[in-house]
Structure 1
Amino acid sequence: MSMRALCLPLLALLLSTGANAPLRAQATAANGSQSPASSAEQQPATVTGIVYLDRNGNGRRDRTEPGLAGVKVSNGRDVVASDAQGRYVLSNDARMTVFVIKPAGYAAPTGANGLPRFWEQIFPKGSPALKYGGIPAGPVPASLDFGLLPAPRPARDAALKMLVFGDPQPKSRTDVDYYDRDIVAPLVGRHDAKLGLSVGDIVSDDLSLYPDMNRVTAKLGVPWLHVAGNHDLDFDAATDEDSLLSFRNVYGPDSYAWEEPQASFIVLDDVVYRPGQKPAYVGGLREEQFEFLRGYLATLPKERRVVIAAHIPFFDPVPGVESFRRADRERLFTLLREHTQVLLISAHTHNQRHYRHGAADGWHGAQPLHEYNVGATCGAFWSGTKDAQGIPDTTMSDGTPNGYAWLTIAADGRYALRYRVARAKDDPAIGLHAPKVLRQGAYPAYGVYANVYMGDTDTRVEYRVDGGEWKPMRRVLQPDPRLLVENIADDAADALRGYDRSPEADISTHLWRGALPTDLAMGEHRVEVRALDRWQGEQRAATTYRLDEAQP
């Protein structure tokens, strides 16, 4: 069905303005004045408005500013396209967030919090009372208009560079300061990203920290998209439907789409809140999200790059434990099956991993479906000993240092991923652990371990000693010894080494081992490791060990 046909029958509701609402959709009557509905009890069955080109960026439609045709607008369920005059019509359920799907070639206005403002709330009676505010009451305007700004047209072969942050998750303003100094400040004025994405757990249960986090993130100066996580919930909400009202009041829709020339991005809330149950949430999707996906995906060419971002992984990190509802995953994969360029991005685990979905997961596409489970910017919840700058080490339980990812998408949809360790000057891709000294002639039972942060099951990892022949390393599923050393140091200490100690080392999916020779001359020996990264090419790291003579 064409978007023009979709526009006529579908109706949807818009949400009233939430916190930080400088980009307000304008409620304009024919003469340009605001004309809200008279009362919550007399709400119209539909909400209508115009998508227009806000040439002067003043946030309201002036008489000379044209409507934009073919722009998609949604209430999180229905997807309609604006007509030749820019007008759209959606159904009004009086408790929904309406948003424009920013099309490629345009920019969304920026709100007072420095984040893109492409949505409006319509809650004429307001939301249930919640600890962190929920969504306040507001009238339904007679015409809910969305202005888009002109954007420079990129070169035909231009690539999109974007920053991807997993789980910032501060539990206090002290942690917000760590996020600022460890992640954001080193990037300010030194990056060339055009878009940013935080993949859930924007905070750690304390939603009053949103303004502080937004102030910091906005320093990066690019449009920033937010995914809802399990620590972004209103835990005093009575239902899953109401569990993200405070999040939505700040960030807008919990499920939406955003378009750039190189790709379409779909953000999904995949945290299903279950008040009073254990566990209190599970990964999954709601029925209206499937309706939104069905309607939106139908508008996209099958060969266009689609990036789906959600907090909880679509795979089950612990085999046999269903953390994402299998039936929902299979429905999602069925909708995506005919799309030839799909990338999944998730977070939540505070580990880093690549996962390839196949038939066992319900994916039946021509090629395995790649999911990148990005490491957390907060690492292991801002834990561990502090460095000279007073920032915790916060290495994750799989041995990955905290940091962030770069995602680059070419004009033809091909993509490349790169992980950047926070504040690391030499941009390490591999962490090494080896014994400092071994006995010359001892049985070669001790090894060098290489944690290849972006390693996959088919990554080729090799090592050599003293410039000799390169030999393959063996992938092992065990904890990273570097973190085990920290665990032992924490156990042995007679006083706290930090506010929170480092996490217990867990099995890493990207760890390799090579046995160290002991039949060499006494003294120091250099160990080099190289890994072939599918996107960055050869990556290297080096360390040393020493052979000493000993008598029984």
Structure 2
Amino acid sequence: MLRLSVCSIFLCLLAATCADAHAQTAQLTGTVYDDGNGNQHRDASERGIAGIKVSNGSDLAVTDAKGRYALPARENATVFVIKPPGYATATGANGLPLFWHHVFPAGSPTLRYGGIAATSSDGSADMDFPLRRQSKAGGELKMLVFGDPQPKSQADVGYYERDIVAPLVGKHDVRLGLSLGDIVNDDISLYPAMNRVTSKLGVPWLHVPGNHDLDVDATRDEDALLSFRNVFGPDSYAWEEPQASFIVLDDVVYLPGQQPAYIGGLREDQFAFVQSYLATLPKDRRVVIAVHIPFFEPYPGVESFRRADRDRLFAMLKDHTQVLLLSAHTHNQRHYRHDAATGWHGAQPLHEYNAGAACGAFWSGVKDAQGIPDTTMSDGTPNGYAWLTFKPDGAYSLRYQVARAPADYAMALYAPKVLRLGAWAANGVYANVFMGDADSRVEYRIDDGAWKPMRRVSQPDPNLLAENLADDKADQLRGYDRSPEAVPSTHLWRGVLPTDVGAGEHRVQVRVFDRWRGALTSETRYRLDQARE
């Protein structure tokens, strides 16, 4: 009897030891292969590709000479291939890149919008990734950047299609697209409709998750993007083109039951992934970090992104000489230069482009003749998107495109229509330069006079103020939602209008010297009348 007990104990200990050893050595394996015929199935003649990076969201592996990789198994992981330069990923049924496998053998927690269903594999079976060689990959990389498309209804999806996407279909030469979060406004059931529209642009499109893409019925941050991941794949990943490496990061930390219910920040697994991935890149390669919540504080002193996380990420990036940050979320547009005050200690200030929203001010305001809302943002920036171009050496340029406007529409002017001849010169012309920076050179002149500098001011945009007043005075709603309340703009300039230049109409020309496009001009007019007492 005693001998049986000892044997039983020994077998139990042996079984436990084996289970522990298996847990410690359990791996996800697969092959990255050249899918020559594009059927997303590895045929006998299709060889593996060496040197390709694959990740489980924390760990990083590189394929061997036969294209094989092995990664530690992680519970409820999304395993993805990092698309290398010169190759394309598979395309899913929704027209978007397909470069991942979910490993959820038991499925995810039950959520309103579905989460992730149980997968057929627990990761022990091979998890292969097809890639196809690209015929055109060098030269310049042109791409589109959308901030916050954010529809709340099918009607808004229609605005997105007619205002943003349709004018671009068949009329662009970009090779990559990126949406910087808030793909929808809380209604995740709109993803299929949005993907149907975005895929019409015909290029690989990457998606950053935003705070309005959360499963708000999740009980913890780890589960708050399961429905997003089910459609778009990993919430944090990398993507490589010859001209740049893109690192997409979920920077929305969900805090269920708290107010506010989220804050900007990063998780430990993300830090591990970024550190491992950056170690594979030359220090002079262009690195683009794409997030939703900006790294700077839109309201100074209010910690909207955890400063400790920002410092930690910036420390990892410090020795990389070409870094660009892309963010959205604010429904304003702004260029921010990080320095020691925000934890950046690189050799040069770190540029963050906080992109204007595709939806502008949440598809609000008075509709135009085509039935599309005005939706100007609270800083006076019209809704639109950015063109981002990278040269082969990683140098970049940005251009903001106002939706359905001419390509050279770069500023909105405001001036009074008529002033009294000889009156005290107290009124001004305002220029809202949509891509204006703190050091932008903005000048104006009256008629054919000398150019004079305009002064940058921190004031609400007067055009939007006029809309606010019109909304206030209206007896009925002027739109589904009224325009947002105007706030001080970071890219507004003012010049005094003279009243001693003779009666009649006068032309006001304004020019800005854009960092990437050179001199851009616009003009308006005002009149000087002789007043009668």
User: Shared topology, TM-score over 0.5?
Assistant: yes
Find the counterpart in structure 2 of residue 382 from structure 1: 363
Q: Structure 1's 44 and 335: CA in aligned 2 closer, same or farther, altered over 3 A?
A: closer
Find the counterpart in structure 2 of residue 347 from structure 1: 328
Find the counterpart in structure 2 of residue 227 from structure 1: 208
Letter in 1 for 2:115: G
Q: Are 2:480 and 1:499 equivalent residues in the alignment?
A: yes
Distance in 1 separating the partners of 2:94 and 2:23: 33
1:190 Cα deviation from its structure 2 partner: 0.3
Find the counterpart in structure 2 of residue 119 from structure 1: 100
Deviation by residue 1:499-551 (Cα, 9 ceiling, x = unmatched): 00000000100000000000021111000000000101101010000111112
| Secondary structure in 1 matching 2:90 | coil
Deviation by residue 1:33-59 (Cα, 9 ceiling, x = unmatched): xxxxxxxx9998111000000000011
Q: Which runs of 4+ in 1 moved over 4 A?
A: 41-44
Deviation by residue 1:278-336 (Cα, 9 ceiling, x = unmatched): 10000000000000000000000000000000000000000010000000000000000
Q: Are 2:445 and 1:464 equivalent residues in the alignment?
A: yes
| Secondary structure in 2 matching 1:363 | coil
Letter in 2 for 1:213: M
Q: Structure 1's 381 and 442: CA in aligned 2 closer, same or farther, altered over 3 A?
A: same
Tell me which of 396, 400, 415 is aligned to 2:377: 396
Tell me which of 155, 168, 171 is aligned to 1:187: 168
Distance in 1 separating the partners of 2:60 and 2:350: 26
Tell me which of 51, 54, 59 is aligned to 2:40: 59
1:1-150 pair list within 5 angstroms:
45-140=26-121, 142-150=125-133
Distance in 2 separating the partners of 1:495 and 1:436: 27
Find the counterpart in structure 2 of residue 258 from structure 1: 239
Letter in 1 for 2:131: L
1:167-206 pair list within 5 angstroms:
167-206=148-187
Letter in 2 for 1:277: Q
Deviation by residue 1:411-449 (Cα, 9 ceiling, x = unmatched): 001000000000013530011000000000000000000
Deviation by residue 1:135-190 (Cα, 9 ceiling, x = unmatched): 000122511100101111444xx110000000000000000000000000000000
Find the counterpart in structure 1 of residue 15 from structure 2: none
Which 5+ residue runs of structure 2 have no aligned equivalent?
A: 1-21
Find the counterpart in structure 1 of residue 425 from structure 2: 444
Find the counterpart in structure 1 of residue 313 from structure 2: 332
Which shows bigger deviation, 423-432 or 62-71?
423-432
Which 5+ residue runs of structure 1 have no aligned equivalent?
A: 1-40
Q: Is the 8 A contact 1:201 1:231 kept in 2?
A: yes
Q: Is the 8 A contact 2:185 2:213 kept in 1?
A: yes
Which shows bigger deviation, 419-428 or 73-82?
419-428
Deviation by residue 1:44-98 (Cα, 9 ceiling, x = unmatched): 8111000000000011111110100010000110011000110000111231100
Q: Structure 1's 133 and 58: CA in aligned 2 closer, same or farther, altered over 3 A?
A: same
| Secondary structure in 1 matching 2:183 | coil
1:467 Cα deviation from its structure 2 partner: 1.2
Distance in 2 separating the partners of 1:144 and 1:196: 27
Distance in 2 separating the partners of 1:249 and 1:433: 47
Tell me which of 479, 504, 519 is aligned to 1:523: 504
Distance in 2 separating the partners of 1:499 and 1:266: 37
Q: Is the 8 A contact 1:234 1:242 kept in 2?
A: yes
Which shows bigger deviation, 136-145 or 345-354?
136-145
Letter in 2 for 1:487: N
Q: Is the 8 A contact 1:355 1:370 kept in 2?
A: yes
- Normalising by structure 1, we get a TM-score of 0.91
**Percent identity between the aligned chains?**
72
Q: Is the 8 A contact 1:77 1:289 kept in 2?
A: yes
Find the counterpart in structure 1 of residue 462 from structure 2: 481
| Secondary structure in 2 matching 1:338 | coil
Letter in 2 for 1:541: S
Distance in 2 separating the partners of 1:413 and 1:509: 28
Q: Structure 1's 373 and 426: CA in aligned 2 closer, same or farther, altered over 3 A?
A: closer
Q: Matched residue pairs, number? A: 510
Letter in 2 for 1:482: N
Find the counterpart in structure 1 of residue 527 from structure 2: 546
Find the counterpart in structure 1 of residue 290 from structure 2: 309
Find the counterpart in structure 1 of residue 4 from structure 2: none
Find the counterpart in structure 2 of residue 38 from structure 1: none
Distance in 1 separating the partners of 2:331 and 2:320: 29
Find the counterpart in structure 1 of residue 6 from structure 2: none
| Secondary structure in 2 matching 1:344 | strand
Find the counterpart in structure 2 of residue 455 from structure 1: 436
Distance in 2 separating the partners of 1:427 and 1:216: 26
Q: Is the 8 A contact 2:401 2:407 kept in 1?
A: no
Find the counterpart in structure 1 of residue 11 from structure 2: none
Letter in 2 for 1:403: G
Deviation by residue 1:93-147 (Cα, 9 ceiling, x = unmatched): 2311000000001001110000000001010000000000000001225111001
Q: Is the 8 A contact 2:408 2:520 kept in 1?
A: no
Distance in 1 separating the partners of 2:407 and 2:51: 47
- Normalising by structure 2, we get a TM-score of 0.95
| Secondary structure in 2 matching 1:509 | coil
Letter in 2 for 1:241: E
Find the counterpart in structure 1 of residue 273 from structure 2: 292
Find the counterpart in structure 2 of residue 430 from structure 1: 411
Tell me which of 513, 517, 526 is aligned to 1:532: 513
Letter in 1 for 2:402: V
Distance in 2 separating the partners of 1:380 and 1:154: 36
Letter in 2 for 1:188: V
Q: Is the 8 A contact 1:113 1:218 kept in 2?
A: yes
| Secondary structure in 2 matching 1:289 | helix
